[in-house]
Amino acid sequence: MKIIRTDMELEVPLVDKTLVEWGHDLVLLPDGISEDALCKELEDCCLLLMCYTPITEKVIASAPRLKGIVKYGVGIDAIEIPAAHKRGIPVVNIPEYAEKTVAEGAFALLMALAKKIPSLQTAMRDEGWVWPKTQWLGSDIAGKTLGIVGCGKIGSSMALMARAGFSVNVIGYDPYKNQEELSEKGITKYDDLHSLLNESDFVSLHVALDDNAIHIIGKDEFEEMKSSAILINTARGALINEMALLEALETKQIAGAGLDVFSLEPLNRVEHPLRKLYEMENVLLLPHLTFYTNESMDRLEKETLERCKEIIDGNEVTIKSNDPRLQMK
């Protein structure tokens, strides 16, 4: 059968090699492919693997032979799932491959910004040495308060790292979790987001992106945060009103931000609406790669192949995610 994998820039050599060895016709398509071009390729496609490329209702309608869509990653907001389910096409993601990996990445961003490592490294490269002046004063993490917005598996993993490793007070906002669930993970539940933001020294976002979560952090929320607060986002760019974030950083309404994700990717220095971030010493930017380690990619590739085989063989597809959007009704 013909199998299409979009976002070929993300290398998954085991997946590609195995699908070809199984005797299938594998077509790799680049990030940024137009909707029309994707529709043309899908006319005779039976299985679609995607990571970032939007899979719209039009795209799904263009694929009469399509048996399944595999998101080789976690977030499913780029897929028009109801359109797929209407035609009986299962949609599945790989939700568990990088839970601790992304939490480690988020904590690394937090530590680097708290200790002013990015700006110190720049100064060392430019000047050779710097002396202990006020501008280089960092912040302790031990004894501080970390506010986690979205206390699922990644948020809970970060909570454990902070609490067990650094004696951090962890508070959490998650309307879908009760106090007992969060207490078991060492997180004090807050029912009001603004109250959490007001008390947090560090804020880390781990929310799944849906209609209720878009711009969950905006102008009003930045006004509630401490001027010394650091914001970390390794989840989805659209959780933040990014123009409000630029203003908050420029006016020193918050102390800094560590960002691995953006509403419009890839980021660039020339025409991107967030290009000013490159010039800010209190910002640490990553190219959506906190998930990217040897171990996590091994898990991702193996499980992606498991889901592909289920679809190819016509078996029921295993859905490990708790996201109700993936359940066919």
The reply to whether 288 belongs to the active site is yes
The reply to whether 206 belongs to the active site is no
Single out the catalytic residue among 96, 199, 265, 310.
265
First to last CA, the chain: 27
The reply to whether 24 belongs to the active site is no
Contact 328, 17 (CB under 8 A): no
Single out the catalytic residue among 5, 206, 236, 307.
236
Name residues whose C-beta falls within 8 Å of residue 185's C-beta, 6 or more positions apart in sequence: 151, 156, 159, 160
CA separation, residue 161 to residues 107, 113, 151, 180 (Å): 8, 17, 13, 20
Single out the catalytic residue among 80, 206, 242, 288.
288
Which among 326, 306, 308 is positioned nearest to 84, based on CA atoms? Answer: 326
Looking at the annotation, which residues are catalytic? 236, 265, 288
